[in-house]
Amino acid sequence: MRPVATPSGENPRRAIPSVERLLAAPAAQALVARYRREHVVDVVRDVLASVRRTATGGVPADAVLLERVAGRLAATAVPRLRRVVNATGVVLHTNLGRARLAEAAVAAVTEAAREAVNVELDLATGRRGERDALLADDLCALTGAEAGLVVNNNAAAVLLVLNTLAADRDVLVSRGELVEIGGSFRIPDVMAKSGARLREVGTTNRTHAVDYRAALGPATALVLKVHTSNYRVVGFTAAVDLAELVAIGREAAVPVFEDLGSGALVDLTAFGLPYEPVVRERLAAGVDLVSFSGDKLLGGPQAGIVVGRRDLVARLAVNPLRRALRPDKLTYAALGATLRLYRQSPDLTRDLPVLRWLTRPLADLEATGRAAAALLGSRLGDGYRIEVVASECEVGSGAVPVVAVESRALAIEHADVDPDRIAARFRAAHPPVLGRIHDGRFLLDLRGIFDPAELAVDLGS
């Protein structure tokens, strides 16, 4: 950068051009043709302000300042939310947007985004309709529920249920189920915000039917069961069987609500995967309401789904909070398309990315790994060792806890390069590739990588 010479003794700040002078330059006019004028002016001001703060030895030429302006404008034009390659080994990674949508759901979102859609219009009568009518049919068919309703996420679903059914009254929860999920969802905090009073039952490791019975009283509005999906108390434990909990609720005429977290719509063991509670089974066991996420194992968009008794769902629907928690048309489009796949697809492992990832045979992962290793070899540079190794991945987002799913990974090592540095190089690629460090080695998990080219990114030098 060549500073403009300033006559000796003069204050170098004098030489700082005005905003008007810079904007009059042809290079600035080209920027104004490309970006909103106010935005260009703001960035010019910022650049001049930083020159003013730092100019001790002189002021750069106008052309140099305008290059800085152009650079900053280009940087602000880059989307902050970007495509990344998930080779972390966590299939439903909350930091990476959880489930990737099925193609049918992507198409439905695109259409709903581009066109007018009947989100609240009953096409048969021409009158105003209910958003939830768009999904009720599929939700009931898939879960055996009488009714269902959708909000923005499962945390919102829990809040809505507690506020509607138990504000200013008692909710019984086992101490062993007062969980925190994802570092921000804590049952006691959500309960407090809902206005319901938490009545802890039992102890952290053992809760018995007699504990629930003893806690029941005239102020009890609800029995809450939380699927402790992201951890498990092992050893000397006892949890009250669901059927027994349902019986306790029935005797006292108190509804039982289960926050299932992930909530599978199909039995995952049929695909050779670990067991995860199935929504239909919980309702069949007599639970009055069940809530679960749309973007965990279900494999759809972020949403919170509540299904169960018609009279209780009807009460949720008229709570004013519900208006504040309602999803937009894009969510209905994506969730509707995903639910229809569950009803209609003859092969969910083909059509639903979450299940396609989880059920992929290891030989397939190994083949992808060998092809990716061959492509990556030259891009990494000298001295790198790449091999396909056995690894374990997890479903993530609190689904199927503790149980790991067998996987394969590319291990990338260099005698003189720290695994953190290797990870940073992959993160800086276009698109960024995210792996993990395990036992001092950088690993790229292959379960979600179908095309070896996804890993063969430009790594710079």
Residue ranges in contact with ligand PLP by CB under 6 A: 153-155, 181, 185, 226-227, 229, 259, 261-262, 293, 304, 397-398
Q: How far is the CB of 155 from ligand PLP (least distance, A)?
A: 3
CB-wise, 332 or 426, nearer to ligand PLP? 332
CB-based contact 223:212 (threshold 8 Å): yes
Do residues 149 and 324 make contact, with C-beta atoms less than 8 angstroms apart? no
Nearest to ligand PLP of 304, 369 (CB atom):
304
Q: In whole angstroms, how close is the CB of 294 to ligand PLP at the nearest point?
A: 7
The least distance separating ligand PLP from the CB of residue 295, rounded to whole angstroms, comes to 7
Q: How far is the CB of 260 from ligand PLP (least distance, A)?
A: 7
**Shortest distance, position 201 Cβ to ligand PLP, whole Å:** 17
- Scored b (16 or more CB within 10 A) or e, 123-161 reads eeeeeebebbebbbebbeebbebbbbbbbbbbbbbbbbb
Residue whose CB is less far from ligand PLP, 40 or 268: 268
Q: How far is the CB of 414 from ligand PLP (least distance, A)?
A: 38
Of all residues in this chain, which one has the CB nearest to ligand PLP in the complex? 261
CB nearer to ligand PLP: give 300 or 419: 300
**Nearer CB in complex with ligand PLP: 176/304:** 304
Q: Which is nearer to ligand PLP, 181 or 216 (CB)?
A: 181
CB of 226 to ligand PLP, least distance (A): 5
- Name which of 391 and 397 has its Cβ closer to ligand PLP: 397
In 257-328, alpha helices (H): 279-284, 310-317, 320-324
Q: Containing H/E element for 66?
A: helix 62-77
* Kind of pairing between the strands at 256-261 and 180-181: unpaired
Whether the Cβ atoms of residue 238 and residue 208 lie closer than 8 Å to each other: yes
* E strands present in 104-219: 147-151, 170-174, 180-181, 185-186, 197-201
Q: How buried is 409 (Cβ within 10 angstroms: 0-12 exposed, 13-18 middle, 19+ buried)?
A: buried
- The burial of 261, by beta-carbon neighbours within 10 Å (0-12 exposed, 13-18 middle, 19 or more buried), is given as buried
